[in-house]
Structure 1
Amino acid sequence: MSTYHSALAATAVGRWHLASGDSTMEFTGRHFLFLPVQGSFPVREGHVEVAEDGALTCLEAVVSAAGFETGNPQRDATVRGPRFLDADRFPALRFTAGPCAAGADVTGLLEVKGRQVPLTLAVDEPAAEGDRVVVRATARVDRHACGVGALRGLVGAELGVRIRAVLVRRP
């Protein structure tokens, strides 16, 4: 678990918005249980609120299910379809978290297809880059717990997730 640099925590107080074009959510899974598959989801929106003591008071991030991409158009269309993400009915995946201590990993709820499951993000130390803050985090997601259970024998249950969140202040 990392700890936030006190100077950064002091300057981070307030509401921050996710710079969707600069933020990424990537994943790695397994096909046939041993072939790695990598892909991404486009980040749509989000915000973070930081208290005076550096604690996270609120976090919400949304990615587009319809933007699921691995570079294989046939697979991507199948995963976006009703057997997996059902992106037409459930166009977004959402992560929300409430209060947590400064420097702590962030535990919240991941919503996929209307189902909420607990998820903990292992957060690296944020880095200030001018008027932006860059936060990197990782997690392990059980797709079956999220209601994405098709092809259990061919596709691995667990996805490794890597997040790069670029946060900016907006008035």
Structure 2
Amino acid sequence: MSLDHTTRPPPAPVGSWRLEPAESTVEFTGRHFFLLPVRGSLPVSSGHIDIAPDGSLVSLDTTVAAAGFETGNPQRDTAVRGPRFLDAERHPELRLAGESLAEDLSLTARLEVKGRATPVTFTVDELTEQGERVVVRATARVDRHACGVGGMRGLVGAALLVRVRAVFVREG
């Protein structure tokens, strides 16, 4: 169900849920020279979420692989995986740790990149419960400079639009 954010969203799906990495995606759009859009993705490695019976967040922990950064431009991708940007060799994972889940299903979390944790809020745009599966589509704006990814400040914009499609399967 798509959420129009003017009506009350469905309650968060209670229980323990395991993320299905092969069915989940993290995509982003940034700006090169502050004008040209650059789109890319990062592969999802793992994840788990627990929702209490009252709909509050007990825990959320997800990771994506920094070495899998891809925009379709091999030269750019190698540079971004390198020490000036993601430093994937020393910091192989980006981690998202949940802090709270609001009634409107917005998720407040800490995004850890290169050992630096930065607050971020995801807006849930769609939540579909299919029995033992839940599909969530969410978006967030992330300031890459705040995350410690400051290379090429004069050529690459700070803001990234992050789009997530997360598929969870009920545990137990």
- TM-score where L is the length of structure 1: 0.92
Cross-structure match for 2:10: 5
Contact 1:23–1:166 at 8 Å: present in 2 too?
Answer: yes
Cross-structure match for 1:67: 68
What is the rounded CA distance, in whole Å, between the counterparts of 2:81 and 2:49 in structure 1?
A: 28
Cross-structure match for 1:107: 108
What is the rounded CA distance, in whole Å, between the counterparts of 2:97 and 2:81 in structure 1?
A: 22
Contact 1:56–1:102 at 8 Å: present in 2 too?
Answer: no
Q: Does 1:93 align with 2:72?
A: no
Q: Does 1:58 align with 2:32?
A: no
Q: Which runs of 5+ in 2 are unaligned?
A: none
Contact 2:94–2:112 at 8 Å: present in 1 too?
Answer: yes
What is the rounded CA distance, in whole Å, between the counterparts of 1:126 and 1:55 in structure 2?
A: 16
Cross-structure match for 1:155: 156
What is the rounded CA distance, in whole Å, between the counterparts of 1:101 and 1:78 in structure 2?
A: 37
Contact 2:99–2:110 at 8 Å: present in 1 too?
Answer: no
Letter in 2 for 1:165: A
Residue aligned with 2:101, SS: coil
How much has 1:4 moved relative to structure 2? 3.6
Cross-structure match for 1:42: 43
Letter in 2 for 1:5: P
Could you list the structure 1 runs, at least 4 aligned residues long, displaced by more than 4 angstroms after superposition: none
How much has 1:102 moved relative to structure 2? 3.9
Contact 1:46–1:62 at 8 Å: present in 2 too?
Answer: yes
Contact 2:112–2:147 at 8 Å: present in 1 too?
Answer: yes
What is the rounded CA distance, in whole Å, between the counterparts of 1:3 and 1:44 in structure 2?
A: 32
How much has 1:125 moved relative to structure 2? 4.1
Residue aligned with 1:44, SS: strand
What is the rounded CA distance, in whole Å, between the counterparts of 1:30 and 1:103 in structure 2?
A: 29
What is the rounded CA distance, in whole Å, between the counterparts of 1:120 and 1:167 in structure 2?
A: 19
What is the rounded CA distance, in whole Å, between the counterparts of 1:101 and 1:152 in structure 2?
A: 34
Alignment coverage as a number of residue pairs: 167
Identity of aligned residues (%): 60
Contact 1:138–1:162 at 8 Å: present in 2 too?
Answer: yes
What is the rounded CA distance, in whole Å, between the counterparts of 2:147 and 2:49 in structure 1?
A: 24
Cross-structure match for 2:34: 33
Contact 1:103–1:125 at 8 Å: present in 2 too?
Answer: no
